[in-house]
Amino acid sequence: MGETMSRRLKLQLGGDADMEERAFPNPFPDYEAAAAVPAEEPPRARSQLTPDELGLPFHSDGKIINNFTRRIQTKIKDLLQQMEEGLKTADPHDCSAYTGWTGIALLYLQLYRVTCDQTYLLRSLDYVKRTLRNLNGRRVTFLCGDAGPLAVGAVVYHKLRSDYESQECITKLLQLQRAIVCRDSDLPDELLQGRAGYLYALLYVSTEMGPGAVCGSAVKEVVDAIIESGKALSREEKKAERCPLLYQWHRKQYVGAAHGMAGIYYMLMQPAAKVDQETLTEMVKPSIDYMRHKRFRSGNYPSSLSNETDRLVHWCHGAPGVIHMLMQAYKVFKEEKYLKEAMECSDVIWQRGLLRKGYGICHGTAGNGYSFLSLYHLTRDKKYLYRACKVWLALFTSSPTSWPQRHHGFQHLNSALHRGIQRCKKTTERSNWTRSHRVA
């Protein structure tokens, strides 16, 4: 215990330098201060920021001001052009939603949703066709495997009223299920490569196309397999009392959204997963509470249960991923403590979330900005809308220094900030992501 404390203290002392290395200092005042200052009279100390950047980019009812909307729209146009140019030299075989062509299809699908412009839907279809010709049978999840292209394909064809093609995608998606529920399989349970990632695909299709699109028994079998697997590890580790559903990836009990328990519990709490109330209360809730006790004093979360280092503020590892689980727990269990901790996650992200790693959703600033939008949708507290808008400004206008310019992924913040409903996650990195996600 003493050793642990002194290590924590040491980490805290060295923390500032480490933070500087990972994130830009946030140049903006927080909402309360900004709301108190008339936009046209920025104080001298903040004279490096324009009034628009200092002031509130929305009206008192939360409607975004026209000027800000125009800036976002113009930027989307520019970035789409840059992206299309960059795609000419992109890896033709990467069809994943995470780093490849399905992610581009999802982006156009989201643009269609926001603008109702049919050309975006047809563009999405172009990319869907390309991915469906290149299924590789290696992985099974929405983000990294064949379930992504198949689920997005089903939805795009459905929107185009091509029911035969849509159904064909769903049939192929369901064919993957045997490998998912097989008891002897060594498939993990997490979101990027495991069962929860396949469950995401099923729920995505039923959310987009209606509850009848995927049969309930298919969902139930996958949910049961995830629960059985969590119970088995919990028994093995003798944690059945404290953490009835325990999960690991590469023999490590990860916490975050991508590889860890936050992502798995988040999926199990989705209404469409139809987990029964008793399992939610008796198994999921105590497991979430067990995980909550591992959080750092800062409000951030460790990458794994055994990790003591308060370092990463990413969607994949840290508060920006865990916050979504906490918000979902608040919706399901209606206990204030979950919302309070989600707000504390948001404070950590505001202070340490302008990442130097780039734009991406998984371990970039877009994914971190996304958490503010989600919290705004839940609470309607304009503080979080303000934070989301400022993150957008930090990314695309007043960037403190040059941001890494890579294609893929940077476009998401635009569409996410514009509407922010679709959960499509991608990253800028095209290789070695598995290695980069494992945290020593």
The residue whose Cβ lies closest to Zn ion is 316
Segment interacting with Zn ion, rule: CB under 5 A, options 83-91, 247-255, 290-298, 358-366: 358-366
| 42 versus 197: smaller Cβ distance to Zn ion | 197
Query: Does position 352 bind Zn ion by CB under 5 A?
Result: no
How far is Cα 22 from Cα 254, in angstroms, rounded to an integer?
21
- State which of residues 363, 382, 387, 390 lies at the interface with Zn ion (CB under 5 A): 363
Integer angstrom CA distances of residue 176 from 132, 140, 261, 413? 15, 7, 23, 31
| 53 versus 189: smaller Cβ distance to Zn ion | 189
How near is the Cβ of 191 to Zn ion at its closest, in Å? 11
**Phi, psi dihedral angles at 167 (to 5 degrees):** -65, -40
Three-state SS string across 185-247, please? CCCCCCCCCCHHHHHHHHHHHHHHHCHHHCCHHHHHHHHHHHHHHHHHHHHHCCCCCCCCCCC
How near is the Cβ of 204 to Zn ion at its closest, in Å? 20
| 280 versus 316: smaller Cβ distance to Zn ion | 316
How near is the Cβ of 102 to Zn ion at its closest, in Å? 17
| 324 versus 363: smaller Cβ distance to Zn ion | 363
The site that binds Zn ion (CB under 5 A) totals a number of residues, namely 3
How near is the Cβ of 173 to Zn ion at its closest, in Å? 25
Residues numbered 4-23 forming contacts with Zn ion, rule: CB under 5 A:
none
How near is the Cβ of 192 to Zn ion at its closest, in Å? 9
Tell whether 424 is in a known binding site. no
| 316 versus 393: smaller Cβ distance to Zn ion | 316
Cα within 13 Å of Cα(89), Cβ side:
5
- State which of residues 273, 362, 385, 393 lies at the interface with Zn ion (CB under 5 A): 362
Q: Which residues contact 348 (CB under 8 A, 6 or more apart)?
A: 298, 299, 300, 313, 318, 319
Tell whether 316 is in a known binding site. yes
Dig out the tokens for 222 from the structure.
């996958």
Cβ-in-10-Å burial (0-12, 13-18, 19+) of 350 comes to: buried
CB 363 within 8 A of CB 315: yes
DSSP state of 280: I
| 26 versus 368: smaller Cβ distance to Zn ion | 368
How near is the Cβ of 316 to Zn ion at its closest, in Å? 3
| 143 versus 316: smaller Cβ distance to Zn ion | 316
* Partners of 254 in beta bridges: 304
How near is the Cβ of 259 to Zn ion at its closest, in Å? 9
How near is the Cβ of 263 to Zn ion at its closest, in Å? 11
| 234 versus 428: smaller Cβ distance to Zn ion | 428
Residues numbered 158-177 forming contacts with Zn ion, rule: CB under 5 A:
none
Q: Is the dihedral of CA 123, 129, 134, 140 positive or negative?
A: positive
Cα within 13 Å of Cα(5), Cβ side:
2
The residue type found at 425 is K
Q: In Å, how far from its chain's centre is CA 299?
A: 18
Give the SS3 label for residue 254.
strand
How far is Cα 149 from Cα 161, in angstroms, rounded to an integer?
18
Residues numbered 287-316 forming contacts with Zn ion, rule: CB under 5 A:
316
Residues numbered 188-217 forming contacts with Zn ion, rule: CB under 5 A:
none
Q: Where is the binding site, in residues?
A: 316, 362-363
Residues that bind Zn ion (CB under 5 A): 316, 362-363
Binding-site residue numbers for Zn(2+) are 316, 362-363
